[in-house]
């Protein structure tokens, strides 16, 4: 006789901030929880920064990745649902999944070390000193910018296009658009270049033209590699994450409406 699927095993993780810890205490005794490595789903309490940490932890430790339902105990909470301690079972049963595909950053340093890191929001390259960075930008083996003088450059996913990318005057990309934003940070030369929108099949290579005199760091979300000589960035389709949202949250609609915020 078919008795149905096994009960879903859930793990609870929380930011170390006092509001998130207090919320975790409220939920700890109200529901059954398992360790994250045993779970089928993770409930994360905190802000967007903590959500990114949780997603990176899943990418590193779980194959295939398991879904995450976040509740906002931070500031903005763009990737989070509203915090409520009641009816968690009902909310999880009604959630709407959103798929997010991570970038892969392969950074080669001046001394030849190679670092490969995932990025869910963006990969950014930033000058390390007061001197402007000089960068060469290649897309699909074609040099599109022989020399970009700037504070830096970033590549953002649709999920990350409303974060650092938007602050750098980059475009907002709808979820599911299969696009990437290539956005300069304070460009000096060519002064009128404001970035590009690329298909997410694009492979982008940024080479530092004078890494000894004008050092540059590369950052995949929150993880930094200093003194890079070149960085290759591409979508990694083997790293697909699932975020769960209340039906009324509508992350795709929130991203669209960000274009009309005054």
Cβ atoms 228, 211 nearer than 8 A: yes
20 is in an annotated binding site: no
State both tokens at 117: 């890191």
Element (H, E) at 26: helix 18-28
Q: Is position 57 annotated in a ligand binding site?
A: no
Cα–Cα distance for residue pair 253/172, rounded to 1 Å: 12
Q: Is 162 marked within a binding site?
A: yes
Closest Cα to residue 118, out of 205, 48, 200, 60?
Answer: 60
Distance in angstroms between the alpha carbons of the first and the last residue of the chain: 59
**Residue 165 marked in a binding site:** yes
* 182 labelled binding-site residue: no
Q: Please check if 122 is assigned to a binding site.
A: yes
Residue 234 among known ligand-binding residues: no
User: Catalytic residue at 48?
Assistant: yes
Omega within 30 of 0 (cis) for the link into 190: yes
Angle at CA of residue 253, ends 250 and 255, nearest 5°: 110
* 177 annotated binding-site participant: no
The active-site residue, picked from 29, 32, 40, 48, is 48
Using DSSP's 3-state secondary structure scheme, residue 25 falls into: helix
164 annotated ligand binder: yes
Output the known binding site: 48-49, 121-122, 151, 159, 162-167
Q: Catalytic residue numbers?
A: 48
Binding site per annotation, positions for NAD(+)? 48-49, 121-122, 151, 159, 162-167
């Amino acid at each position: 006789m078919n008795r149905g699927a096994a009960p879903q095993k859930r793990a609870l993780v929380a930011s170390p901030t006092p509001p998130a810890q207090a919320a975790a205490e409220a939920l700890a005794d109200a529901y059954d929880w398992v360790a994250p490595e045993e779970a089928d789903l993770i409930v994360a309490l905190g802000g967007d920064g903590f959500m990114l940490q949780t997603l990176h932890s899943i990418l590193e430790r779980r194959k295939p990745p398991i879904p995450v339902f976040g509740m906002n105990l931070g500031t903005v909470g763009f990737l989070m649902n509203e915090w409520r301690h009641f009816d968690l079972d009902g909310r999880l049963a009604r959630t709407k999944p959103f798929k997010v595909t991570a970038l892969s950053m392969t950074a080669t340093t001046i001394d030849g070390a190679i670092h490969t890191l995932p990025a869910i929001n963006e990969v950014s390259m930033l000058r390390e000193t007061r001197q402007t960075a000089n960068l060469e930008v290649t897309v699909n083996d074609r040099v599109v910018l022989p020399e970009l003088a700037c504070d830096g450059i970033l590549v953002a996913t649709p999920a990350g296009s409303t974060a650092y990318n938007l602050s750098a005057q980059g475009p907002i990309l709808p979820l599911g658009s299969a696009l990437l934003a290539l956005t300069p940070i304070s460009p000096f030369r060519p002064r009128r270049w404001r970035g590009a929108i690329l298909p997410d099949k694009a492979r982008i290579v940024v080479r530092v033209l004078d890494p000894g005199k004008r050092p540059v760091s590369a950052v995949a979300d929150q993880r930094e590699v200093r003194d890079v000589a070149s960085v290759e960035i591409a979508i990694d389709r083997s790293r697909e994450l699932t975020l769960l949202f209340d039906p009324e949250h509508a992350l795709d609609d929130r991203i669209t409406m960000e274009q009309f915020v005054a």
